[in-house]
Structures are given as C-alpha cells and as structure tokens.
Structure 1
C-alpha cells in the first residue's frame, strides 16, 4: 500500500454483503435502520471501488455474534480477507471472532492470522454479549497479542437494534469502555482501539486512552458536529497522536464525516494525524 497517495485511512467500515448474495435485504442493515435509515449493503469489491475513487484506504470487517443470534456472519472472515488481498492497495482486512465460541474462537483466530493474513480483530461487546475484561476472552486476546495485531472494540450506545422492541435484545452495559482498562493492563503490548464517541461514557474512554499508551480512539459512527466537546478538546491536544478517522461506512459516509470534520476547531497540524498518520503508525503501514 502506497500511503503517500492516500488522503485518509478509514479504520472502521463494515462489509454487509457477500459476492454470493442474491437479493440484498435484511441482516445488519435492517437492524441499523432505526438510527441511520436505509443504508447500502456493499461487497468487498464494491467497497474497494468506493474508497479507491476517493484515494482513501479502509479497514474492513464483519461482526461475528453467533452467541447471541445463533447465526454465522452473513459475510465470512475468509471471504473478506481473500477478497481484500485482491485490493491490497486500498483495503485492510480485520476479522471478527465471537469470544463465546470458546476454544474454537482461539483456533479460528490462529487460522485467520496464519492462513488469511488478517491485520486486526473487531469486537462488539453488546452484540456478542460479553464484557471485554471477562477472562473467557483472554485466550483469544493472547493469540492476537502474540501476533502483534490491534483489537478494535465497539463502545457506547449502538445503532444495532435501536428503536426495535427491547432494543433488539442488545444490552448496552457490555460496551462501557472502562472494561477495556483491565484488558490494557493485562495485554500491555496489544494495541486497543476504542471505537466511536463512547456516549454515555465519553469521559471513561478519554481516561483509558490517556492513561494507557497502547489505547487509541476511533471517531466513527457519529458526525463530527455531534462530538462531545471534551473529545474534541483532547483530540486537539493530549490525544492528538491517538485519535483515528473512522466513518462506520456504510452507516455514515466518509464524505459526510469529512465535511463536518472540516468545520471542527482543530489545529492544522492535528488534522493529518487524525486522518492518516496515526493509522499508519497503528497499522504498521509505513514500513
């Protein structure tokens, strides 16, 4: 990947459709409709074309929530990794493995790292129904840490199930970013990304990222015009080297996000750090 040609690196995008899909409807897109309205369901090649057109790179992943839903992800980790390899100038494949799979999760993660060369892992504690500091997940983290890969965790409120009866069964309590403080202590060499402005726990996220050297925050899922003021203040100062551009595409487009980001009161030298430079360092793209 030639990072010099990139205008930005989006560290948070979802693959919602398989190339083998027939009619694209339902699934995760339907569960997000209460928050984001109708959103497109794109395959890996379609995501690659979208980001190439914008001279951007993107981290791509699915979400494995087998424990809660009883269903395999609509798009497999293997499909994402194999197809992303065909667009290595643009796409960076992460994997998602539900910790509730137990010993199988460890085997799956090892295989995805060794055979499919994934570059990180995505967790969604509310969708996967686990506290990030639950020891049952630690064997899985050990595999990730051993490979020197980052782990990205959803935090705060979620659009998944929003507006549905009982919130679609989603429990927000699992996604308090303070749970990641334990993970950061116990895995000090594993990079951790706290995804999203962590409403209603923004201060907890800032505290963990400010205290633990390997903890980052991505800014996905919210238009920058809605960012809490303390998040903007620390992104502009103490955490300027630890904050990352993420859109949550296709729930929120990078075009919309960047338009609103341009209106934030940020120092000129901070903007390129957030848009690209911090991600290059985190993902080891500059080597």
Structure 2
C-alpha cells in the first residue's frame, strides 16, 4: 500500500484530522467588506464576491445558511474532520464551541493592532468566556496596515505569551489585491527574536518566501507553518521537502472551508501529496493537538 492510499482512507475515516482553519457561511453577511474597502482596482470593488476570487476555483457557493453550524458539521463528518478550530468573532462560532465543544476549538477574534487596548481586553474576555486556544492576524488586512514586526503588535504578542496561546498569522503575498510588505516572511525573524516563548504559526502559504520560512523554522523552535488557503496540489515543494526531512513536527494541516476551498476538493487532492508515511499523523492532527494544547 502506498502512502497516498493510506491517507486517502485516513483523511476520510482513519487518521483523525484537526482542521485549524474552518468556518461558517453566515446569512446576509459579507465577511469581506473590511478588505474590499481597502482595495482600489475595479474588479475587487465591483465584480469579486470573494477578494481573491481570481486565484480560486470551486469556491463553495449556495451553501444553506439556515443553520451554518450544522452545515459545517455535516461537511466535517463527510470528510473525516474530527475537530475544527473556529473563530468566536461571529455568532455561529460562539454557538458552535458551546454546543459542540468536542468538535470545535475556539479561536479568538482577529487581532487589531490599530486598537491595541481593545484587542487586549477582547483577548482576555474571550479567554475567560470561551477558553480560546489561539488568536489570528491578517496584517495586510489591517486598516491602516500594520506590519508583523511593528511596535503595535508587540503588546498583542506579549498577551499571547501571558495567556499561553499561539498566534496564527498570515504571511506572504496576500490573495486580495492589497500591499504585501507588512507580511514579508523576514519580519517574523524580529518577532521570534524578541518573543522566544511565543508560538507563531504562519497562515496562507508564505509565498514567494517559502524557502525563507523553512530557514526560519529551522532557526526558531516555536515557529510553525499551516497549509491554510492552499489546495493540496499547490502545497509548496519546499514545505513538503521540509516535512519529509527535519520538519515533520512543524507543518500543520489547515483547510479554508467555506471561504475559498471545499473539503471535497481537499480530500480528493490530499492523497497525491508525497508526504512520507510517518508524516501524515503529525500533519493531520498531532502537531495541531500539541500546539493548541488539546487533550489526546
């Protein structure tokens, strides 16, 4: 049996899977307004329903919105997703983690370094109410933009260390047509130097600086990479090679349902990813379980 055949069964019904980037399709809500208002090109403002639409094929559309939590749960069950990490910023996320605590892990609202004290108070409140296991950052989407290593981010990193939770941060060229300099992977080096206790997980690929991401993961013990927003056939070769050699404990599975990818597409393409057999359980769940401090 090949490694591909093993994971075809494992992703669906064998190996447990923790999806560190999953969510809900909320009724009557445009979750991308905060991005669209910053773009300047006509397509982004007038044509795209999804700011990175030009990059993605088969974005889940026409999903029922009468009960977003049940829709996501059904998709998870269909594809063997054991646990999903979801933001508690929205009503569905808050309801999901309260009604289905065994299936959903709470992630705090996206941090806003333009409102430092508001973000710190919100992190504390969500930690106390929901027991959040992480927070997220989208530097290119902040308005005005704030770089990953900017002074405004440092109190937020310090609070992550204090609460003992990781930050999942977008790094690399953003899909939406926004400026990218604030997400250059080299900025992470400053952050890890100043916060060696911080657990930092990159999101959305780190391209075109994926080789630099690997170099930094070799350097910094608490730096990780998640595969969010990338269909498996597009996983960067540098990341696959790293996982198969020295980085088996550093690469974490993440999808992008329903924002940009269907779980069906991910499940269909996953068997062709050439991870070694011993990498799969770490990639699909064990690394996330350790980073998020989930019970076995």
Indicate the TM-score class for this superposition, using the shorter chain for normalisation: 0.7 to 0.9
Could you give the per-residue CA deviations for residues 104-126 of structure 1, whole angstroms, max 9, x where no partner exists? Answer: 21111111111232111010111
Q: Following TM superposition, by how much is the alpha carbon of 1:210 offset from its aligned partner in structure 2, in angstroms?
A: 1.4
Alignment correspondent of 2:76: 51
- 3-state SS in 2 of match to 1:217: strand
Q: Please, which of 9, 16, 19 is the counterpart of residue 18 of structure 2?
A: 9
5+ unaligned residues in a row in structure 1: which ranges?
A: 63-75, 161-166
Q: 1:198 to 1:277 in 2, by over 3 A?
A: same
Cα distance in 1 for residues equivalent to 2:167 and 2:24: 18
Cα distance in 2 for residues equivalent to 1:79 and 1:116: 13
Q: Would you say 1:98 and 2:107 are equivalent positions? A: no
Cα distance in 1 for residues equivalent to 2:96 and 2:152: 31
Q: 1:233 to 1:87 in 2, by over 3 A?
A: same
On the 8 A contact 2:79/2:263 being kept in 1, the answer is no
- 3-state SS in 2 of match to 1:49: helix
Alignment correspondent of 2:168: 152
Higher relative contact order (CA 8 A, sep 6+): 2
Cα distance in 2 for residues equivalent to 1:16 and 1:124: 19
- 3-state SS in 1 of match to 2:192: helix
Normalised by the length of structure 1, the TM-score is 0.81
Q: Following TM superposition, by how much is the alpha carbon of 1:242 offset from its aligned partner in structure 2, in angstroms?
A: 0.8
Q: 1:44 to 1:186 in 2, by over 3 A?
A: farther
Could you give the per-residue CA deviations for residues 187-226 of structure 1, whole angstroms, max 9, x where no partner exists? Answer: 2222110113211111121111111111110012122222
Q: 1:229 to 1:79 in 2, by over 3 A?
A: closer
- 3-state SS in 2 of match to 1:93: strand
Q: Which moved more, 1:221-230 or 1:138-147?
A: 221-230
On the 8 A contact 1:10/1:245 being kept in 2, the answer is yes
Normalised by the length of structure 2, the TM-score is 0.79
Q: Following TM superposition, by how much is the alpha carbon of 1:26 offset from its aligned partner in structure 2, in angstroms?
A: 7.0
Q: 1:16 to 1:201 in 2, by over 3 A?
A: farther
Cα distance in 1 for residues equivalent to 2:249 and 2:149: 25
Q: CA RMSD in A?
A: 2.4
5+ unaligned residues in a row in structure 2: which ranges?
A: 1-12, 34-48
How many pairs were matched up?
259
Cα distance in 2 for residues equivalent to 1:52 and 1:263: 22
Alignment correspondent of 1:81: 94
Q: Following TM superposition, by how much is the alpha carbon of 1:10 offset from its aligned partner in structure 2, in angstroms?
A: 0.9
Alignment correspondent of 1:110: 124
Cα distance in 2 for residues equivalent to 1:235 and 1:53: 27
Cα distance in 1 for residues equivalent to 2:31 and 2:112: 21
On the 8 A contact 2:79/2:264 being kept in 1, the answer is no
Alignment correspondent of 2:292: 283
Alignment correspondent of 1:27: 32
Q: 1:53 to 1:263 in 2, by over 3 A?
A: closer
Could you give the per-residue CA deviations for residues 114-158 of structure 1, whole angstroms, max 9, x where no partner exists? Answer: 123211101011111211111111112221111110100011123
Could you give the per-residue CA deviations for residues 210-261 of structure 1, whole angstroms, max 9, x where no partner exists? Answer: 1111111001212222233222111111111110111122211233223323
